[in-house]
């Protein structure tokens, strides 16, 4: 009997190892009470699909960089995955179709665009197809044409500059913009007008400080400890008190899109998650910028369990003050180029001098150019490729990290990490 129990114990241990590392099985279905956060890798920009505890669905960004740019198809950038049979937005929708709760009838309750860059909301070009509504299909416009969106939230269009003003659009920084921000916005506005009329789409700007803009739509009373706090938008930042805010920029200033990114924190019981778009915190000389967005939002974010790397881990992000203040247990890097991460960023987020304790890092892709430059330091990542799924359960007390195969349409589990205990 003793030998049988010993053998059984060994088999159970072997099974747990197999389950934790590349068991080649499907992600178990979402269940009520789970918060699922899927960081989708297409190789063309950011996209994070979320299922809240009551089944409310939420998409953050739908990156779709143009194939007409040599940069996009060079070895400097990631390949379109899992293959070229679909566009990046079509792959996003295909992914969502696989993991959306079965009772959601093929629609999104919310979508959020952090800012108007191609790797976050799309870019028009001569190769794009047109929808029946007369707009070009790219990024969120293609996603929303395939999967109706109930409420689409962005940073608005009138602050700090009125982007609909012809005089503003004629400024050199927009008229000579290689990546076509204004032409893409014009298609985006057509998309909003058409979808609002035909499918009841609601479009509004993020309300900084609010916890009642992105809410549970189905059974909110069952999950009183879940909420989404809007932290910043357009350089307007929540103070941490009620819904009070302060602004870093004045009317007429335009610091570029990145500092204007929408930032949110998701809370579920003890669990906290932060996503800050492309905000940064390092100045042009490589020093901590105490007046940058990261420095201002850090105190109101506070410590979190999971955070995405701001600006994909670019060298201008994750300043020491920010890292020390939010000190996540898990960092998730959504990237698409050999520029990400900057080696100094990796040094900061792994530094035990900035904050003690363990931390795990996951990346959707790690290009060979990055590995060649940074070398063995990239081995600090738990995973360097794949869709990264955060599954929070037990009323927000525990969570697991799954890495799914991004080279296959089946998206089987490559590895599982956890359980982690929420702080």
Q: What is the tens place of the pLDDT at every residue in 43-66?
A: 999 999 999 999 999 999 999 999
Q: What is the tens place of the pLDDT at every residue in 212-260?
A: 999 999 999 999 999 999 999 999 999 999 999 999 999 999 999 999 9
pTM (2 decimals)?
0.94
SS (H, E, C) 190-250: HHHHHHHHHHCCEEEECCCCCCCCCCCCCCHHHCCCEEEEEEEECCEEECCCCCCEEECCC
**Cα dihedral 32, 50, 36, 377 in deg (nearest 10):** 180
Residues of the chain under the 50 pLDDT cut: 1-19
**How far apart (Å, rounded) are the C-alpha atoms in residues 85 and 91?**
9
Burial of residue 69 (CB within 10 Å: 0-12, 13-18, 19+) is middle
6: in domain: no
- Two tokens at 149? 């969106």
- Closest residue by Cα to residue 19 from 422, 405, 358, 418: 418
User: What per-residue confidence (pLDDT) applies to 217?
Assistant: 96
Residue pair 186/177 in contact (Cβ under 8 Å)? The answer is no
4: in domain: no
**How far apart (Å, rounded) are the C-alpha atoms in residues 414 and 403?**
5
User: What per-residue confidence (pLDDT) applies to 128?
Assistant: 97
User: What per-residue confidence (pLDDT) applies to 211?
Assistant: 98
242: in domain: yes
297: in domain: yes
User: What per-residue confidence (pLDDT) applies to 5?
Assistant: 41
User: What per-residue confidence (pLDDT) applies to 8?
Assistant: 41
User: What per-residue confidence (pLDDT) applies to 102?
Assistant: 87
275: in domain: yes
Q: How far is CA 95 from the centre of its chain?
A: 15
**Cα dihedral 327, 332, 335, 337 in deg (nearest 10):** 70
User: What per-residue confidence (pLDDT) applies to 7?
Assistant: 45
**Cα dihedral 77, 81, 84, 85 in deg (nearest 10):** -160
Q: Running DSSP on this structure, what letter comes out for residue 81?
A: S
318: in domain: yes
- CATH number for the domain harbouring residue 177: 3.60.15.10
1: in domain: no
**How far apart (Å, rounded) are the C-alpha atoms in residues 309 and 341?**
9
**How far apart (Å, rounded) are the C-alpha atoms in residues 267 and 340?**
28
300: in domain: yes
Domain of residue 284: give its range: 34-421
User: What per-residue confidence (pLDDT) applies to 23?
Assistant: 60
User: What per-residue confidence (pLDDT) applies to 21?
Assistant: 55
User: What per-residue confidence (pLDDT) applies to 20?
Assistant: 53
Number of domains observed in the structure of the chain: 1
User: What per-residue confidence (pLDDT) applies to 35?
Assistant: 98
Q: Helix, strand, coil: what percent of the chain each, to 5?
A: 30, 25, 45
User: What per-residue confidence (pLDDT) applies to 104?
Assistant: 78
């Amino acid at each position: 009997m003793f030998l049988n129990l010993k053998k059984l114990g060994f088999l159970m241990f072997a099974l747990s190892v197999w389950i934790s590392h590349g068991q080649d099985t499907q992600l178990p279905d979402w269940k009520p009470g789970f918060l699922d956060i899927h960081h989708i890798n297409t190789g063309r920009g950011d996209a994070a699909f979320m299922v809240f505890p009551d089944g409310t669905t939420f998409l953050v960004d739908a990156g779709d960089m143009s194939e007409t740019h040599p940069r996009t198809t060079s070895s400097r950038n990631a390949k379109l995955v899992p293959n070229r049979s679909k566009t990046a937005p079509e792959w996003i929708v295909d992914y969502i179709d696989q993991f959306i709760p079965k009772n959601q009838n093929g629609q999104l309750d919310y979508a959020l665009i952090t800012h108007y860059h191609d790797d976050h909301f799309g870019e028009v070009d001569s190769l794009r197809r047109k929808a029946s509504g007369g707009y070009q299909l790219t990024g969120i416009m293609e996603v929303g044409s395939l999967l109706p969106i109930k409420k689409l939230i962005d940073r608005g269009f009138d602050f700090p500059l009125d982007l609909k003003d012809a005089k503003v659009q004629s400024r050199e920084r927009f008229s000579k913009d290689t990546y076509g921000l204004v032409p893409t916005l014009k298609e985006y506005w057509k998309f909003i007008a058409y979808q609002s009329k035909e499918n009841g789409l609601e479009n509004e700007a993020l309300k900084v400080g609010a916890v009642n803009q992105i809410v549970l739509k189905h059974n909110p009373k069952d999950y009183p400890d879940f909420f989404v706090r809007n932290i910043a938008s357009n350089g307007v930042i929540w103070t941490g008190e009620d819904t009070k805010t302060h602004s870093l920029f004045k009317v007429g200033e335009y610091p570029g899109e990145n500092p204007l990114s929408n930032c949110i924190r998701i809370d579920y019981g003890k669990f906290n998650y932060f996503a800050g778009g492309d905000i940064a915190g390092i100045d042009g000389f490589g020093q901590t910028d105490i007046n940058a967005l990261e420095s201002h939002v850090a105190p109101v974010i506070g410590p979190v369990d999971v955070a995405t790397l701001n600006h994909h881990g670019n060298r201008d992000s994750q300043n020491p003050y920010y890292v020390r203040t939010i000190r996540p247990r898990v960092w998730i890097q959504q990237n698409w180029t050999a520029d990400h991460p900057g080696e100094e960023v990796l040094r900061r987020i792994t530094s035990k001098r900035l904050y003690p304790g363990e931390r795990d890092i996951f990346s959707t892709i790690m290009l060979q150019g990055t590995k060649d430059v940074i070398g063995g330091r990239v081995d600090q990542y738990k995973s360097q490729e794949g869709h990264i799924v955060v599954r929070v359960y037990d009323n927000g007390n525990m969570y697991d990290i799954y890495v799914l195969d991004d080279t296959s349409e089946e998206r089987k589990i490559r590895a599982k990490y956890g359980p982690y205990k929420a702080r």
